[in-house]
Amino acid sequence: MGTFRFSRTPIDVAPLRAELADPVCGGYASFEGWVRNHNEGQRVLHLEYEAFEPLAIKEGERIIAEAMARFGVERAACVHRVGDLAIGELAVWVGVSARHRDEAFRACRYIIDEVKHRVPIWKKEHYENGDSGWVNCERCAAAPHAHDDHHAEHDHAAHARHVHGAAHAHVGALVPDYSRQMALREVGPAGQARLRAARVLVVGAGGLGVPVLTYLAGAGVGRIGIVDADRLEPSNLHRQTLYALADVGKPKAELAAERLRALNPDVDVHAYVLRLDRDKGAELIRQYDLVVDCTDNFTTKFLINDLCVQLGRPAVLSSVYQYEGQIQAVRPERGSACLRCVWPDATPDGIVGNCAEAGVLGPVPGVFGSLQALEALKILLDLPGQLRDEVLVIDLGSLAVSRVRARRAPECGNGTCVRAAAALAREPIADADLEIAFDTLDDALKAGYEIVDVREARELAELPTPAARSRNVPLAEILYGEPRLAPDAKILLVCASGKRSLAAAKELRRRGFPSAYSLRGGVSGLARRTVT
């Protein structure tokens, strides 16, 4: 037998103990936690206990089962009070019967420790001075106990008596305290339990991702996944304040995971150092309840949208350009409009500059990332005021705010998007197959490539193409015009960083240019030597 349950009336120990009696058992151990009359120097008048019972009972039963399997005990049970309790009342009882006393002692200690750390139970202390406050019962748990190494020498019928919450004063400062957000009527203990059970995948750990990750971890979201393939660069630091100068060169996903674990040890953090593609994206998104898009390229942004629509996962999307930005919540489970309902075709990367190309002040992505985190919490807690079939657009330069109606495409059914499904059905060309690296453009010319620079004329004036022979065909002409290029020519497309040239290569391949390639890393990564 293994049971975990709540009681709204005083706990009667005698029948509970009788339930654990078994002729094969030679040892019985129990724990009782009582309500005491003081805490951290304040006189306590009474307590209120509240729990998110469906989740709490499930987790409590799991703990009982773990203890029985781990220590080989025959029977175990735990009863916890909810409601208003007076000083001296029994707040929690644990009982274990086993063949031998050692197993009973260890299982009893394991159960109470794990219940205090894992089960979503909160208490509200009412003080003599009129103040009161909710406290996660995890704060009442003592330091972790070495369950496997504890050996007690007591009688077969030993009873451990402990004043409930005795270790609170010193341990409380070392564990997360959610009391300020739990004080909100819309959150409370039940809402905090929902956050603890939530799983959120954040794609991008840069200017948008840093505030999203920080606030979600601080709020106590139970599991956070971080996807980012990039390494930290010095130019990131003015807007990505989770990192330090000494971190330059290290993977952002791993750095962010390390910082979040330090911020909130309760959160289960997973770092994925990779670029999201269709297969890996689907595999990851299936493991999470909500996706927050914090990327700076349209290809990944639309891929996230399409996968979330296909898999029925909500997503919070955001884009930033200089002082402006927008946020959209995609709710396929509610039949809402998605990104392709607003923009049927993905904007090719390079048309709109990212932070590196267009420039940005640090607080701008910080504001939009904070709003994304807020929207994510609203969804997880089902709070009022969520974005529904609309795009929030903000110009932080002028402080103008507008909400643009987003209508679901007429060909889309409830919870589906024909455009998203069609986009996922297309077999993509891997970026790696379109990119080629040269130490200098001299080498490309010698290899028979025609150099085509897709930057604008003003950019060429600031940073000329480092080659003796090249053509300038702006990206817009390739995407929307008829560039005068030979379909059978070996073409090497170049730009500042390699992103716009990659978009151009994809478009030319689509039009039947089988030998169109993009220079990996762009001209900024080249040594400046030219053919003479």
What pLDDT does residue 340 have? 83
Looking at the DSSP bridge assignments, the partners of residue 86 are 46
Distance (Å, rounded) from C-alpha 372 to C-alpha 104? 49
Band the pLDDT of 89: cuts 50, 70, 90: very high
Would the pLDDT of 156 be above 50?
no
CATH number at residue 295: 3.40.50.720
Do 87 and 206 share a domain, yes or no? no
Would the pLDDT of 139 be above 50?
no
Least confident stretch, 112-121, 212-221, 347-356, 514-523: 347-356
Mean pLDDT over 405-429 rounds to 65
Would the pLDDT of 474 be above 50?
yes
Closest CA to 219 of 183, 252, 258, 264: 264
Band the pLDDT of 229: cuts 50, 70, 90: very high
Would the pLDDT of 142 be above 50?
no
Domain range for 400: 198-425
Do 443 and 389 share a domain, yes or no? no
Give pairs for 508-513: CB < 8 Å, separation 24+.
508/478, 508/483, 509/429, 509/434, 511/487, 512/487, 513/485, 513/487, 513/489
Distance (Å, rounded) from C-alpha 394 to C-alpha 403? 9
Would the pLDDT of 150 be above 50?
no
Which two tokens mark 235?
A: 């130019």
Burial class (CB in 10 A: 0-12, 13-18, 19+), 491: buried
177, 207, 239: which is the final residue of a domain?
177
422 vs 330, more confident: 330
CATH number at residue 520: 3.40.250.10
- Total of domains in the chain: 3
Do 436 and 342 share a domain, yes or no? no
Do 401 and 435 share a domain, yes or no? no
At residue 426's C-alpha, the angle toward residues 420 and 427, to 5°, is: 140
Q: What percent of the chain has pLDDT over 70?
A: 83
What pLDDT does residue 368 have? 95
146 vs 3, more confident: 3
- Position 531 in a domain: no
Segment 31-64, tens digit of pLDDT: 999 998 887 677 888 888 888 888 889 889 989 9
- Position 82 in a domain: yes
Would the pLDDT of 102 be above 70?
yes
- Position 21 in a domain: yes
Would the pLDDT of 407 be above 90?
no
155 vs 528, more confident: 528
Closest CA to 421 of 313, 317, 333, 303: 303
The answer to whether 364 touches 325, Cβ cutoff 8 Å, is yes
CATH number at residue 131: 3.90.1170.40
Segment 252-296, tens digit of pLDDT: 999 999 999 999 998 999 999 998 888 899 999 999 999 999 998
- Position 182 in a domain: no
Which two tokens mark 430?
A: 């891997």
Do 221 and 143 share a domain, yes or no? no
Question: Which stretch, 111-120, 349-358, 407-416, has highest mean pLDDT?
Answer: 111-120
Do 229 and 321 share a domain, yes or no? yes
Spatial CB neighbours of 26, under 8 Å, sequence gap ≥ 6: 98, 99, 100, 101, 156
Which two tokens mark 282?
A: 């689907």
Do 71 and 25 share a domain, yes or no? yes
487 vs 416, more confident: 487
Mean pLDDT over 188-212 rounds to 93
123, 142, 177: which is the final residue of a domain?
177
Do 336 and 441 share a domain, yes or no? no
384 vs 346, more confident: 384
What pLDDT does residue 518 have? 93
Distance (Å, rounded) from C-alpha 84 to C-alpha 161? 21
Would the pLDDT of 1 be above 80?
no
What pLDDT does residue 148 have? 43
What pLDDT does residue 219 have? 95
Do 436 and 421 share a domain, yes or no? no
The answer to whether 244 touches 334, Cβ cutoff 8 Å, is no
What pLDDT does residue 418 have? 60
Mean pLDDT, all residues of the chain:
83
Would the pLDDT of 78 be above 70?
yes
Would the pLDDT of 159 be above 50?
no
Do 421 and 453 share a domain, yes or no? no
Segment 209-223, tens digit of pLDDT: 999 999 999 999 999
Segment 318-373, tens digit of pLDDT: 999 888 999 999 998 888 888 888 777 656 555 555 555 567 888 999 999 999 99
Spatial CB neighbours of 308, under 8 Å, sequence gap ≥ 6: 285, 291, 314, 315, 330, 332, 338
Q: What percent of the chain has pLDDT over 90?
A: 43
Residues present in the chain in total: 532
Closest CA to 221 of 380, 362, 375: 380
At position 1, the amino acid (one-letter code) is M
Least confident stretch, 181-185, 249-253, 261-265: 181-185
What pLDDT does residue 328 have? 92
Would the pLDDT of 472 be above 60?
yes
Do 289 and 334 share a domain, yes or no? yes
What pLDDT does residue 137 have? 54
pTM over 0.75? The answer is no
Phi then psi for 272, rounded to 5 degrees?
Answer: -120, 105
331 vs 477, more confident: 331
Would the pLDDT of 162 be above 70?
no
